[in-house]
């Protein structure tokens, strides 16, 4: 760790600002922007979770609260590291909505109706 002032230290990896589009990260002497568009895992994370970042080695970042590991190079050059999953977040929510709708269309639970007797 580098000393900034007496009694205060700066971590080798530190989040300095979070915006609706991503967050700024100091790694050593470099300042990097981590856009949510390129790194969607952070989009729903809390500020506390995003700012809890560790630098286990000079080229490796780790967010323990989110269990996310990233190479510093993947932030510097995201085009070299395309996302593997092609699933869209809306796909899951549409499936969930369809299941909920199907459940509400079913006959309500409770006392079963009696079958009608033939006369």
Question: Is residue 115 domain-resident?
Answer: no
Question: Is residue 15 domain-resident?
Answer: yes
Question: Is residue 75 domain-resident?
Answer: yes
Question: Is residue 114 domain-resident?
Answer: no
Cα separation, 61 vs 70, in Å, equals 5
Q: Phi/psi at 105 (nearest 5 deg)?
A: -80, -15
Question: Is residue 21 domain-resident?
Answer: yes
Question: Is residue 91 domain-resident?
Answer: yes
Question: Is residue 79 domain-resident?
Answer: yes
| Half-sphere CA count of 66, side-chain side, radius 13 A | 22
The pTM for the full model equals 0.60
What percent of the chain clears pLDDT 70, i.e. is strictly above it? 61
Question: Is residue 62 domain-resident?
Answer: yes
What are the pLDDT digits (tens) for 8-54?
344 589 999 999 999 999 998 899 999 999 999 999 999 999 999 99
What are the pLDDT digits (tens) for 103-112?
555 544 445 4
How does DSSP assign 43-108, residue by residue? TT--HHHHH--EEEETTEEEETTTTEEEEHHHHH-GGGS--S----HHHHHHHHHHHHHHHHHSPP
Task: Indicate the number of domains in the chain.
Answer: 1
Domain range for 41 is: 2-103
Q: What is the pLDDT of residue 17?
A: 95
């Amino acid at each position: 760790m580098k000393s900034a002032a007496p009694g205060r230290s700066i971590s080798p990896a530190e989040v300095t600002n979070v915006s609706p589009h991503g967050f700024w990260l100091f790694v050593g002497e470099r300042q990097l922007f981590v856009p949510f568009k390129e790194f969607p895992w952070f989009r729903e994370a809390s500020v506390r979770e995003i700012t809890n970042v560790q630098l286990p080695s000079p080229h490796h970042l780790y967010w323990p609260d989110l269990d996310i590991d990233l190479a510093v190079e993947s932030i510097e050059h995201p085009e070299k590291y395309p996302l593997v999953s092609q699933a869209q977040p809306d796909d899951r929510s549409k499936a969930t909505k369809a299941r909920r709708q199907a459940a509400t269309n079913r006959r309500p639970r409770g006392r079963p109706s009696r079958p009608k007797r033939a006369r």
